[in-house]
Homo-oligomer: A and B are copies of this chain.
Amino acid sequence: MRMPLHERIRRDIEAAILSGELKPGARLPVEHELMRQYACARMTVSKALSALSSVGLIDRRKRAGSFVARPKVHSMVLDIPDLEQEILQRGQIYRYRLLRRQVRLPDHSTAGEAALAGRGQLLLIEGVHFADERPLSFETRLVSLSAVPEMEALSLEGASPGAWLLKHVPWTEAENRIAAVPADQTVARHLNVGTGAACLFVERRTWRGNDGITLVRQHFVGSAYDLIARFGSSKL
């Protein structure tokens, strides 16, 4: 494939980061080393690194070098992800109660599960998020263990699995489906609302590169929760 050199350099490094070969915080080769590797001028290397820096994949510091950025908390994206943070910022007490946890193979009759895990194992987690001891969200989550093997050994008591994932696994793509649905019996029981009450339903899938990471379904108490999504080119 014909591709500009700076583009190739950029993609090589991007790939190394997304694959996990270069971990967050790792220092990447200095510009002169990259010049040597690719036999090119410094401006060319610099252009590649600038592009990576501008999308927030790396941090560049004079004298120190360039480093893989820590997973950015949804730079500008959708304020759903870290429920725990959000609740704490509102000055409420956060608690996560684990209801169920099991490891199993994907059910190939369910479209989403196969797409997520391929032939690998899935971790199923079910729980409720509380704000000030009042149930706020009922969550069912599937995690691909081939993408996140560390998750299997993890204790889930207390801390929300979503928050852990956000901190430890960078994602590159996410899709949210958002709808308003009436609470069914299960949801109504866990959220302590009447059957048929309006609930905000969010289904989110995330990927790192081409690998599915997780699929979450969340029911929020309609009267108690709003999503806020902010977009823009706003420079800080």
Contact = CB atoms under 8 A, between A and B. Distances in A.
B173 A222 contact: no
Interface in A152-196: 172-182, 196
B180 A228 contact: no
A198 B179 CA distance: 9
Nearest to A78: B229
Copies in the complex: 2
B222 A172 contact: no
Contact of A199 (B174, B180, B220, B227): B180
Interface of A: 51, 54-55, 57, 77-78, 172-182, 196-201, 207, 220, 222-223, 225-234
A176 B78 CA distance: 9
Nearest to A207: B232
Given A54-B54, A198-B199, A199-B198, A180 B220 contact: yes
28 contacts: A54-B54, A55-B233, A57-B233, A78-B229, A172-B232, A173-B234, A174-B232, A175-B228, A176-B228, A176-B229, A176-B231, A177-B226, A177-B227, A177-B228, A179-B222, A179-B225, A179-B227, A180-B180, A180-B198, A180-B200, A180-B222, A181-B222, A181-B223, A182-B222, A196-B196, A196-B198, A197-B198, A229-B229
B231 A174 contact: yes
A54 B234 CA distance: 15
B174 A78 contact: no
Contact of A173 (B201, B220, B223, B232): B232
A210 to B, nearest CB: 10
Contacts of A175: 228-231
